[in-house]
Amino acid sequence: MSNRPAVSAFRAGVCPSSWPGVLVAVLALSGCPVPDAEFEPPVVDAAAPKDLTTATPPDQAPARCELPYDVRAIDKVATGAVTIMPLPTDPNVYTAEIDATAGGSMKYGENPFVYIDLIARKKVELTDVQADVSQGWDLGLKRWQIKLNSGDSGPAGVTVARVPGKNLGEVTMAPAGPYEADDYFDAKCVFAADPIGGLGTALSDWYDYESGTSRIVPKKEVLVLKRRDGQGHIKVQITSYYKGTTSANYSLSWSYLP
C-alpha cells in the first residue's frame, strides 16, 4: 500500500486514520493519536540462534597497532633452514637447528622471522604478515628476537611460564604460572622495544652475555608454553645461539607435558 495519501493528509494538517509504513515517531510528534493496531514491536525469540556470520564493516573493525618501520612485518617467507629430529637417546625429546640469521646483522630488517610448529615438528612457510593472523605456529625467531603466537604477535594463545635454573629433563610438570603473552603495545598503541631495539616480547630476556666475549648465551631455564590446541604444555630449552662463530643459529630441544 502506498504511503502517499497518509503523508498528504499529514501535510494538510489532517490526522489520517492509518499510517502504513510511516514512522510512528512522526505521528506522535505531530500531535496525532497513535493507533495501537498500527504499531506492534517485533517479537524477539531469545532462544533463537544468533547470526554470527555477519562481518564487522571494515570501517568499524578495531584497528591493529602498526609496528615501527625498523621492526615491520615482512611480506615474504624466511629462507633459513630448519632441521628437526628426535633426540637419539630419548625419542620423546625433539631437537631443532634453526637458521634465523635473516640475511645477517646488516640486512635482518628486510627479512622475516622463521616460524616453528612445535606440535607438528616442522618449519611453517608463512610470511610475517600471514603469521600475524595464523594459528599454525608456536615460535618465531629472527636474529636475537623470539616471539610467541599470542598477544601482539598472533592469535593462538601460546603463553609462557619460566622455570629458572633447570634443564629440560628436570621439569616434569607444568608450573602454575604466571603465563605471559607477547605484549609490546599499550592501549594507545605505543610500542615497547627490547634493549636492542627489537620486539619487546615475553621472551626478550632469554639470554645473557658471556663475560669477556659479549657473546649471547642462553639462560639456564626451561620455557613452558601453553599449547595452542589446548592439549597441555610444551617444555622448551634453548641450548645455543651459534653455529661455529655465526650467530642467530639456534639449537633448542623440547618435549610435551600434560
Exposure on the CB side of residue 123, measured as CA atoms within 13 A: 18
Angle at 184 (CA atoms; ends 220, 65), nearest 5 degrees: 150
Domain ranges of the chain: 4-38, 69-257
Angle at 103 (CA atoms; ends 101, 105), nearest 5 degrees: 75
Residue 79 confidence (pLDDT): 97
CA-to-CA separations, 233 to 150, 161, 171, 226, 254, in angstroms, rounded: 15, 10, 12, 5, 10
Residue 137 confidence (pLDDT): 98
Cell of 174: 607444568
Residue 13 confidence (pLDDT): 47
Residue 161 confidence (pLDDT): 98
Which amino acid is residue 138, in one-letter code?
Answer: D
Residue 60 confidence (pLDDT): 37
Question: First vs last Cα of the chain: how many Å apart?
Answer: 67
Peptide bond into 5 cis (omega under 30): no
Do 16 and 9 form a contact (C-beta atoms < 8 A)?
yes
Residue 190 confidence (pLDDT): 97
Q: Please give the model's pTM, rounded to 2 decimal places.
A: 0.76
Count the helix, strand and coil residues of the chain and give each as a percent rounded to the nearest 5: 10, 30, 60
The segments of the chain whose pLDDT lies below 70 read: 1-63
For residue 66, what are the contacts with CB-CB under 8 A and spacing of at least 6?
189
Residue 196 confidence (pLDDT): 94
Q: What is the DSSP string of 91-152?
A: EEEEEEEEE--TT-TTTGGGS--EEEETTTTEEE--BHHHHTT-SS-SEEEETTEEEESSTT
Give the Cα separation of 15 and 7 in Å (integer): 10
Which amino acid is residue 145, in one-letter code?
Answer: Q
For residue 28, what are the contacts with CB-CB under 8 A and spacing of at least 6?
34
Residue 63 confidence (pLDDT): 61
Exposure on the CB side of residue 29, measured as CA atoms within 13 A: 5
Which amino acid is residue 157, in one-letter code?
Answer: G
